[in-house]
Amino acid sequence: MKVYHVPSYDVMSQKAANLISAQIILYPQSVLGLATGSTPIGVYERLVDKHNNGELDCGGLTTFNLDEYCGLSEDDPQSYHYFMKSHLFSKVNINKEKIHLPDASAKDIEKECKRYDSQIEACGIDLQLLGIGNNGHIGFNEPGAVFEGDTHCVDLDESTILANARFFDDPNDVPRKAVTMGMKSIMLAKRILLVANGEAKRAILEKSLYGPITPLVPASILQLHPDLTVVWSD
């Protein structure tokens, strides 16, 4: 595990964007696993800057996002489809056919989860970008009795709903359910890059990286990954 403790959100974003760009420049056909949430916004901004400066060609990339809320349409500004479009996909030359997010409004969610896993399995993720929730979740793998391997539908934790209420006009609008990639796809990624920002994440990050490996702290499983890089600022 490599841990970079950097002095600011800006440096965190720059460092993570540099690591992702290096992956893309060395392997233009890379498969990236992508995250949403407030933390990676600066990373995506830097990647867009690099693209605009002619340093980054995203034309060969394939992407898989970690998760999506149930009950929101793709065009809903709170959906993760919309987030990715507005922060990255509409701003770089990515092939729209190679963008993948789970369809959390599918009629048959179980079938959709299986479909998503088989797509990921067929491609394999080269570099997975992760944020971390205040309760240690990665994707929306919430604390629980077991590490769930496959893409699945999850009841969001009360603490996650509270944390994400800041993005919604009315806290009652925060969806209660989401579809998330499971631990298997995350752990099978060749490389993992975890970004975290803010004093509030310090304790959970320390628990995750140095505490016991337990599904009660979902990110603790990352200690078992052979190529984990963490970039965090407080």
Which listed residue (66, 125, 156, 179) binds ligand F6R by CB under 6 A? 66
- 19, containing H or E segment: helix 9-26
Give residues 67-126 in contact with ligand F6R (rule: CB under 6 A): 67
Which listed residue (12, 17, 138, 230) binds ligand F6R by CB under 6 A? 138
Residue 194: both structure tokens together = 């975890």
Relative to beta strand 99-100, strand 62-65 is parallel
Catalytic hit among 18, 57, 103, 135:
135
Q: Which is nearer to ligand F6R, 67 or 148 (CB)?
A: 67
Q: By CB under 6 A, which span of 7-15, 17-25, 30-38, 49-57 interacts with ligand F6R? A: 30-38
Distance CA 46, CA 52 (A): 10
Q: Which is nearer to ligand F6R, 61 or 136 (CB)?
A: 136
Examine the residue annotation and report whether 158 is marked as an active-site residue of this protein. no
| Per CB under 6 A, 137 contacts ligand F6R | yes
Examine the residue annotation and report whether 137 is marked as an active-site residue of this protein. yes
Q: Which is nearer to ligand F6R, 137 or 225 (CB)?
A: 137
Give residues 34-53 in contact with ligand F6R (rule: CB under 6 A): 35-39
Residue 212: both structure tokens together = 């016991």
Q: Which is nearer to ligand F6R, 24 or 42 (CB)?
A: 42
Q: Which residue has the tokens 């034309």?
A: 59
Question: Least distance in Å: CB of 2 to ligand F6R?
Answer: 19
Total interface residues for ligand F6R by CB under 6 A: 13
Distance CA 50, CA 53 (A): 5
Catalytic hit among 51, 65, 67, 117:
67
Query: How many C-beta atoms lie closer than 10 Å to residue 135's C-beta?
Result: 17
Examine the residue annotation and report whether 126 is marked as an active-site residue of this protein. no
Write the single-letter amino acid at 111. Answer: K
Cα 214 → chain centroid? 20
In the chain, count H helices and then E strands. 7, 10
Examine the residue annotation and report whether 152 is marked as an active-site residue of this protein. no
| Per CB under 6 A, 129 contacts ligand F6R | no
- Residue 144: is it exposed, middle or buried by C-beta count within 10 angstroms (0-12/13-18/19+)? middle
Catalytic residue set = 67, 135, 137, 142
